[in-house]
Amino acid sequence: MDNHTGIDRRGALGAMALLGATGAFAASASGAQPATGSPLAGLGWDSAKGEYTLPPLPYDYAALEPHIDAQTMQIHHDKHHAGYVKGLNNALAKLAEARQAGDAGLIAHWSKQLSFHGSGHVNHTLFWLGMAPSGKGGGGEPSGSLRAAIDRDFGSFDKFSWQFREAAKSVEGSGWGWLVFEPLGRRLAVIQGENQQKLMLTGAAPLLGLDVWEHAYYLKYQNRRAEYVDAFMNVVNWGFVQSRFAEVSA
Ligand code: MN
C-alpha cells in the first residue's frame, strides 16, 4: 500500500499547524479551504497530488533589476525554493510513514525537517510576493493602517526602515530580516530569523521578509550584504504588505 503519498489535506495542515510560527499556516489551518483571494492561498497545495507545489514567481526573473539580478532570481526560485518544497513534501511523507509504522525514533528527525523545509517554503512564498518592480508597485513607503501601525510602534517609517535593515544586515550566518505582527499584544516587531525559522517570535505572523542567505545576493553583491539590503527597499511591495497586515490583524 502506497500510504506515504496519501497525505490528506487535513493531515498535512495539522502537521503544518504544529510549526506555529507563521500566520500563513494558521490562516489555512483554521478552515477547510485556503482563503480564496489571497495570493498565498494554500501555499501551492495540490489536492490531486496530495503535496505542495512550487508557486510561480509573480513577475519575470529580470523584473527586479537592477536591484536583484535575473540569474539570482532564477536560481533562487527554481532551485532553492523548489528544494524546500521537495523537502517539505518528503518530511510530511516520512512522518506519515513513521505514524503508520509506530516508529517513534524517526519523529524527532523528521519533525525538524518539517520545521526547516516548511518554514523555507513559507518564507520564500512571502519573499516573492513582498517584492515588485521598482516604481511599479515596488519601493516607496507604506500608507493606510500599516503606516499608522509602523508610526505607532517604531516612531516613524525612517526609524522602522533603519531597524529593519540593521536587523537584516547583522544576522549571524544565514537567515532573514522580518517585519512581523504579534497578534496577542497586537504589535508590530522587527526580528531576525536564523536559518529558516530560528529566533522567530511565537505566534507572530510574518508580513515582510528579507532573505539574507548568501544565495539571495552573492552573484551580484558578493560579500556586500549591506548593499543588497539597502537595495531591497527599492522593490518592497508595500501594497502586498498592507494586505497581509489587514489579513492577520483583523
Ligand atoms: Mn532563500
- The CATH number for 170's domain is 3.55.40.20
Gap between the Cα atoms of 89 and 142, Å rounded = 35
What is the CA(122)–ligand 1 centre distance, in A? 11
34: pLDDT strictly greater than 50: no
Q: pLDDT at position 98, please?
A: 97
31: pLDDT strictly greater than 70: no
Q: pLDDT at position 38, please?
A: 67
Q: Does a structural domain hold residue 190?
A: yes
What is the CA(80)–ligand 1 centre distance, in A? 6
Q: Does a structural domain hold residue 180?
A: yes
What is the CA(36)–ligand 1 centre distance, in A? 26
Q: Does a structural domain hold residue 124?
A: no
Q: pLDDT at position 37, please?
A: 57
Count of structural domains within the chain: 1
Q: Torsion angle of alpha carbons 162, 130, 233, 169, nearest 10°?
A: 50
What is the CA(156)–ligand 1 centre distance, in A? 29
Q: Does a structural domain hold residue 38?
A: no
Q: Does a structural domain hold residue 220?
A: yes
Gap between the Cα atoms of 35 and 24, Å rounded = 10
Q: Which domain holds residue 154?
A: 144-249
Q: Does a structural domain hold residue 181?
A: yes
What is the CA(114)–ligand 1 centre distance, in A? 16
Angle at 229 between CA 42 and CA 182, to 5 degrees: 50
Q: Does a structural domain hold residue 10?
A: no
7: pLDDT strictly greater than 60: no
Are the beta carbons of 69 and 61 closer than 8 angstroms?
no
Q: Does a structural domain hold residue 88?
A: no
21: pLDDT strictly greater than 50: no
18: pLDDT strictly greater than 80: no
